[in-house]
Amino acid sequence: MTESGSLPPEDSLVLSQVIGFGTPQNVGAFRFWFADRRWEWSDEVAEMHGYPPGSITPTTDLLLTHKHPEDRAQVASALEKSIENTEPFSSRHRIIDTGGRVHHVIVVADTMNDEHDQVVGTSGYYIDVTDTLEEHRQEALDDALPELYATRAVIEQAKGALMLVYGIGPEQAFRVLSWRSQETNVKLRALAERLVADLASLADSASGLRTRFDHLLLTAHERVRNG
C-alpha cells in the first residue's frame, strides 16, 4: 500500500487480471522490410510520434529524426545490424514527438518470413512506457487477495527477467508483461510461468540474448495454449 491508500502499480495490474478491469496499454505495431527498407506502422505508433493516423508515410530517416539525440546513434546501429544480420530490430530508447514530448519506448520484435519461410523483415510492437501505471484503491481488493498473493512470486521472476534483458524498472517490466497478457488473452500468471520456464533455453549461450528473449516473449502464449 502507498501512503495515499492506493495499491502499488504491480498489484493494480495483477488485480486487473483477477477481477476483470485493466489499464489500457499504449502499444502500436510495425513492420519493416529489409530489401527496400520499407516501413509500415499502426495508427498508435504514428500517434506516439505526434502524427494523426494516416497522415504520413514512415521512413528510416523520419524515424531517426524523432529519436532522442542521445539515443539516435544507438538506434541507427541497431537497425543496420538488424538489416545486415537479418535479425529482429529490437531496442529501448526515447523518441521526441512533434510536440516536443519525450516518450520512453521499448521495441519488441521477431522475424518476418515470406511464403517460402525466408526472412524478409522484422515486425513487432512499440510499447510506450512513459506514463506511470494507474493505481487503484484498496477496496477493489475485497475478494482478490488470495489469488493476488499466489500469483506474485512467479510474476516477480518474470519481471526480473524483463528488467535484466531490457534494462527497465519494475513498473515498466510489469507493463510489458501485462500488455502481452491482454494482447494474447492469456492469464497473466500462466504467461509469467511459461516465460520463466522458457528462460532455461537461454542458459546455454549469451549470444543473441535480446533477440531470443524477444521471441520467447512474443510466443509464450502459444506454448501456454499448447502446453
Q: Which helix (H) or strand (E) holds 217?
A: helix 209-226
Q: Looking at residue 37, what is its pLDDT? A: 95
Percent of the chain at pLDDT > 90 equals: 37
Q: Looking at residue 23, what is its pLDDT? A: 39
Confidence check: pLDDT of 8 > 60: no
Give the pLDDT confidence of 187-209 residue by residue, as tens digits: 888 999 999 888 877 765 555 77
Confidence check: pLDDT of 150 > 60: no
Instruction: Give the CA distances from residue 134 to residues 9, 24, 138, 165, 221, in Å, rounded to whole numbers and listed in that order.
Output: 7, 10, 13, 24, 25
**Greater model confidence, 118 or 27:** 118
Threshold 0.85, pTM exceeds: no
* pLDDT, the chain, mean: 79
Which residues lie closer than 8 Å to 184 by C-beta, 6 or more apart? 191, 221
Compute the distance between CA of residue 101 and CA of residue 95 in angstroms, rounded to an integer: 8
Q: Looking at residue 80, what is its pLDDT? A: 93
Give the pLDDT confidence of 41-87 residue by residue, as tens digits: 999 999 999 999 999 999 999 999 999 999 999 999 999 999 999 99
Asked if residues 30 and 125 have their Cβ atoms less than 8 Å apart, the reply is yes
**Greater model confidence, 127 or 32:** 32
- Kindly list the structural domains of the chain, giving each domain's residue range(s) and its CATH number in brackets, ordered by start: 27-128 (3.30.450.20), 139-226 (no CATH)
